[in-house]
Amino acid sequence: MTMSTTATPEASSTPSTSPGDPATQPPASVSFAEAFRFWLKLGFISFGGPAGQIAIMHTELVERRRWISEQRFLHALNYCMLLPGPEAQQLATYIGWLMHRTWGGIVAGALFVLPSLFILIALSWIYLRFGDVPLVAGLFFGLKPAVTALVLHAAHRIGTRALKNRWMWGIAAASFIAIFAFDTPFPAIVLAAGLIGHLGARRWPQVFALGGGHGSAKASYGPALIDDHTPTPAHARFSRSHLGRVLGVGLGLWALAMAVLVAVDGLQGTLTQMGWFFTKAALLTFGGAYAVLPYVYQGAVDTHQWLSGPQMIDGLALGETTPGPLIMVVAFVGFVGGWLKQALGPDALFLGGALAATVVTFFTFLPSFVFILAGGPVVEATHGKLGFTAPLSAITAAVVGVILNLAMFFAYHVLWPQGFGGRFDGLSALICAGAALALFRFKVGVLPLLGACAAIGLAAHWLVPLVR
């Protein structure tokens, strides 16, 4: 069977199937317009972080619509997991690209991000404009301890998958010590871990052969539009000319955007520095958004001072409550930085913040599109080869130590808001402990957890003055 993109009105009415009652015919071909509507819908409902977003796509694309088979879906997912960047957004881009060529991938990936960008711009404005209002302050009082528990849970979740032997534990411990005790830059930790994985795989291959991904296909939901044995479409096969064109366009767009920023804002301007910094951040997001947050903190808070540490925690809380990839917290960083640094002057604070958030989002996600559109045919051929995956296994182990350091940083700012010399916030400690118990013991979802903690924080903010 060959894949087609011919428009058919019946495609959306294809009945759902289950492994026990598979359909006998593949679904009708999917038009670009129908795919556009689905990707737009996905952008507004993609809550729950990477796991939740991937589950939504699996339910919609594999089980219900049967646009792609289980095996092809997992194959694409495992490829995306090898790349820096948000794997759920890259998976959407990949499937859109397989179905409707380059524009299909661009539309799928962009619509995964744009709703979150607009929502975060609005929430960031509310945060800066009304952050001192008791209602907003109370909500964030409850959200901050919850975020601390979420980061700790992320370290545990990634650690259980990555730390399969004592060598990986050693890499994680070394990365924690490097960033906690010696303030080692995150890129240096990634580079060192990758080098250890590359060299170690030659001498101790069993250490780094950790298996991977998300397992193998276990169910058949009936014939899919892109089925297990559907030939790879012509546009997805390796071609040097295509590779050159995509790389040229990607690098050209980056250079053009950077040149405009330099011309308008100067080499040391806020927007220019944001573009350069988040380009580097985009290339270091192995292990998901939590992995790159320490690097974003180092640059955005310590080096450039675009926002404060507590504001960074608040931004992560907002990012957790919006659809789209969690790395979209960078839009909050950009908005706050553009606002506080008055990127467009003191009379255009909102426009300066919105422009900075857009600039940050563009430079953060541009590499993801280039990786999928240019590297798909190349990297797929190396999937599963130890020489390619071993450095990534070591990097993922190092990421666990880095995330643990981030959790400690958040805990410090939440539990001792005035520093170690100030008072210990016992109520925040109780909320944090309760949130951790809900995550680890009862497997509560992110949104219900944040909602409950926000309600507790709001109640505490109203009750404490009454008690006094």
Express each pLDDT in 295-332 by its tens digit. Answer: 888 899 999 999 998 899 888 888 877 888 878 999 99
As a whole number, mean pLDDT of residues 379-401 equals: 70
With 0-12 / 13-18 / 19 or more C-beta atoms within 10 angstroms meaning exposed / middle / buried, residue 242 is middle
- The better pLDDT of the pair 357, 443 is held by 357
Q: Lowest mean pLDDT: which of 197-201, 364-368, 406-410?
A: 406-410
Taking the C-alpha atoms of residue 377 and residue 364, their distance in angstroms, rounded to an integer, is 23
User: Residue 369 has what pLDDT?
Assistant: 95
Largest CA distance in the chain: 73
For residue 176, what pLDDT is reported?
93
Residues contacting 14, CB < 8 A, separation 6+? 23, 27, 28, 65, 66
Alpha-carbon gap, residue 372 to 80, rounded angstroms: 8
pLDDT, tens digit (0-9, with 9 covering 90-100), for 79-104: 776 677 888 899 999 999 989 999 99
Question: In sequence order, which ranges of 182-239 are alpha helices (DSSP H)?
Answer: 186-203, 205-208
Distance CA 37, CA 456 (A): 38
Q: Are 67 and 61 in contact (CB under 8 A)?
A: yes
117 and 424 Cβ atoms separated by less than 8 Å: no
Q: Are 455 and 142 in contact (CB under 8 A)?
A: yes
Give the tokens for residue 435.
Answer: 């949130």
Higher pLDDT, 13 or 383: 383
Give pTM, 2 decimals. Answer: 0.72
Contact 376, 97 (CB under 8 A): yes
Between the ranges 35-49, 144-158, 168-182, where is the mean pLDDT highest?
168-182
> Tokens standing for 371?
């990786």
pLDDT at 442 exceeding the cut of 60? yes
Task: Tell me the C-alpha distance between 352 and 270, whole Å.
Answer: 10
- In Å, how far are 241, 254, 255 from 248, measured between CA atoms? 10, 10, 10
Cα atoms found within 13 Å of the Cα of residue 79, Cβ hemisphere only: 25
pLDDT exceeds 50 at position 144 = yes
Contact 13, 28 (CB under 8 A): no
pLDDT score for 277: 96
Residue 465: pLDDT band with limits 50, 70, 90: low
Cα–chain-centroid distance for residue 245?
27
Mean pLDDT of the chain: 83
Q: Which of 55-69, 147-161, 189-203, 214-228 has the lowest mean pLDDT?
A: 214-228
Q: Give the pLDDT score at 394.
A: 85
On the question of pLDDT at 467 being above 80, the answer is: no
Token readout for 355 is 């422009």
More confident residue, 337 or 377: 337
CA angle 56, 60, 66 (to 5 degrees): 145
Q: Which single residue is written with the structure tokens 């050159």?
A: 244
Percent of the chain with pLDDT over 90: 39
User: At residue 339, what is the residue type?
Assistant: W
Point out the least confidently predicted range of 123-127, 207-211, 388-392, 439-443. Answer: 207-211
Task: State residue 400's pLDDT score.
Answer: 84
Contact 78, 213 (CB under 8 A): yes
Confidence of residue 51 (pLDDT cuts 50, 70, 90): low
Assess whether pLDDT exceeds 90 at residue 118. Answer: yes
Q: How high is the pLDDT of residue 265?
A: 93
Average pLDDT rounded to a whole number, residues 415-442: 91
32-45 and 87-130 helices, crossing angle to 10°: 50
Q: Tell me the C-alpha to C-alpha distance, in Å, between residue 109 and each of 68, 163, 211, 285.
A: 17, 31, 28, 17
Q: How many residues does the chain have?
A: 468
Domain boundaries, the chain: 114-210+234-467
Instruction: Give the pair of three-digit tokens for residue 346.
Output: 């003191």
What is the spatial distance between Cα 339 and Cα 269, in angstroms, rounded to a whole number?
A: 14
Instruction: Convert 385-402 to b/e letters by CB count within 10 Å (16 or more is b).
Output: eeeebbbbbbbbbbbbbb
| Average pLDDT rounded to a whole number, residues 15-33 | 68
pLDDT at 388: 63
What pLDDT does 47 receive? 65
- Region 414-419: mean pLDDT is 85
What does the block give as tokens for 360? 């940050």
Query: Structure tokens of 136?
Result: 């907003």
Q: Is the pLDDT of residue 168 over 60?
A: yes
Q: What pLDDT was estimated at residue 174?
A: 96
More confident residue, 334 or 152: 334
- CB of 65 closer than 8 Å to CB of 26: no
What does the DSSP assignment read for 279-323? HHHHTT-TT-HHHHHHHHHIIIIIIS-SS-HHHHHHHHHHHHTSS
Res. 358: pLDDT tops 50: yes
Q: Among 104-108, 121-125, 150-154, which is the least confidently predicted range?
A: 150-154
Q: How far apart are CA 372 and CA 96, in angstroms?
A: 10
Both tokens of 448, joined, read 């219900």
Highest mean pLDDT among 41-55, 178-192, 401-415, 432-446: 432-446
Residue 356 is predicted with a pLDDT of 97
